[in-house]
């Protein structure tokens, strides 16, 4: 028997969204992963590095899943529930977790790190990345691309202007990195497939990925959620996810 709208909403509106683990969505949503395998890539780099920082680590899940960490490993995060989770996961691995505002400046001396990694940063502050890297150091990041999951975004917010749809284009990242004095040595882009199977999955996702529908609450978007629930009774809600990988080196 299909679960009711109220039941799905109550569950998804009250479950914890701390950390960057999406396992609550198992069986309720699917997301195709990029072909390059980000965690494996950074694992290879971290195993060879002497010092590294993971910027905007979330709950530390990605960094904690890497087999070998450098002797000096630091992670930054701004959201208190994520900070607590990251500390629990990373302190036993010998990593330091630093509270940061996700706004410049980064809380590190110039030339502090051989390697900077970052998965899905809200914004990449390229001048600060260049400052904190050592000469010859590398920044390796997987980022959300343009108009990612915008089928869902526009269901709630309506059609978005072109400048919003293209605001996270990888070409912009390349230009910003080069303006900061970095050399982009790898840039890859992929369009991927995402599906949501019930309205609870959508609510959980939007509570966790807070920048997609800013200020999202069930109460504020109840009509859109009810309409989506009716649509989902007929089949999954499909969306296109975009991701890009960028590697930049400091001369």
| CB distance 144 to 190 below 8 Å | no
Average pLDDT over every residue of 218-234: 97
Q: Which two tokens stand for residue 111?
A: 């030339």
For residue 7, the surrounding DSSP H or E stretch is helix 5-14
Distances (CA, A) of 93 to 73, 85, 139, 211: 9, 13, 22, 30
pTM above 0.95, yes or no: no
Computed on alpha carbons and rounded to an integer, the radius of gyration of the chain in Å comes to 19
Q: What tens digit of pLDDT does each residue of 136-162 get?
A: 999 999 999 999 999 999 999 999 999
pLDDT band, very low/low/confident/very high, at 19 (cuts 50, 70, 90): confident
Query: What is the per-residue pLDDT for 2?
Result: 84
Q: What tens digit of pLDDT does each residue of 55-67 get?
A: 999 999 999 999 9
Q: Which residues pair with 189 in a beta bridge?
A: 244
| CB distance 81 to 18 below 8 Å | yes
Average pLDDT over every residue of 85-100: 97
| CB distance 138 to 113 below 8 Å | no
> Whole domain around residue 36: which residue ranges?
5-249
**Structural domain count of the chain:** 1
Maximum alpha-carbon separation in the chain: 61
Query: What is the per-residue pLDDT for 20?
Result: 83
- Provide, rounded to the nearest whole percent, the portion of the chain with pLDDT above 90: 97
- Tell me 133's DSSP state: E
Q: Give the distance from CA 215 to its chain's centroid.
A: 18
Q: What tens digit of pLDDT does each residue of 24-36 get?
A: 999 999 999 999 9
Residue 92 sits in a domain of what CATH number?
A: 3.40.50.150
Query: What is the dihedral sign for C-alpha 168, 61, 191, 225?
Result: negative
């Amino acid at each position: 028997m299909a679960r009711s709208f109220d039941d799905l909403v109550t569950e998804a509106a009250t479950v914890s969204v701390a950390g960057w683990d999406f396992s609550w969505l198992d069986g309720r949503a699917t997301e195709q992963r990029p072909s390059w395998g980000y965690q494996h890539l950074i694992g290879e780099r971290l195993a060879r590095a002497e010092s590294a920082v993971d910027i905007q680590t979330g709950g530390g899940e990605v960094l904690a899943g890497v087999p070998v960490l450098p002797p000096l490993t630091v992670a930054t995060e701004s959201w208190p529930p994520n900070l607590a989770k990251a500390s629990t996961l990373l302190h036993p691995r010998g990593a330091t977790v630093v509270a940061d505002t996700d706004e410049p400046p980064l809380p590190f001396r110039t030339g502090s790190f051989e390697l900077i990694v970052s998965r899905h940063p809200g914004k990449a502050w390229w001048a600060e990345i260049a400052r904190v890297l050592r000469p010859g150091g590398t920044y390796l990041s997987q980022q959300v691309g343009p108009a990612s999951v915008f089928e869902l975004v526009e269901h709630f917010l309506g059609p978005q202007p072109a400048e919003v749809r293209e605001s996270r284009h990888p070409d912009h990242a390349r230009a910003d990195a080069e303006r900061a004095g970095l050399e982009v040595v790898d840039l890859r882009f992929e369009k991927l497939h995402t599906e949501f199977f019930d309205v609870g999955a959508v609510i959980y996702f939007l509570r966790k990925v807070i920048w997609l529908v800013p200020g999202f609450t069930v109460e504020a978007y109840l009509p859109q959620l009810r309409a989506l629930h009716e649509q989902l009774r007929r089949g999954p809600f499909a969306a296109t996810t975009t991701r890009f990988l960028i590697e930049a080196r400091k001369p």
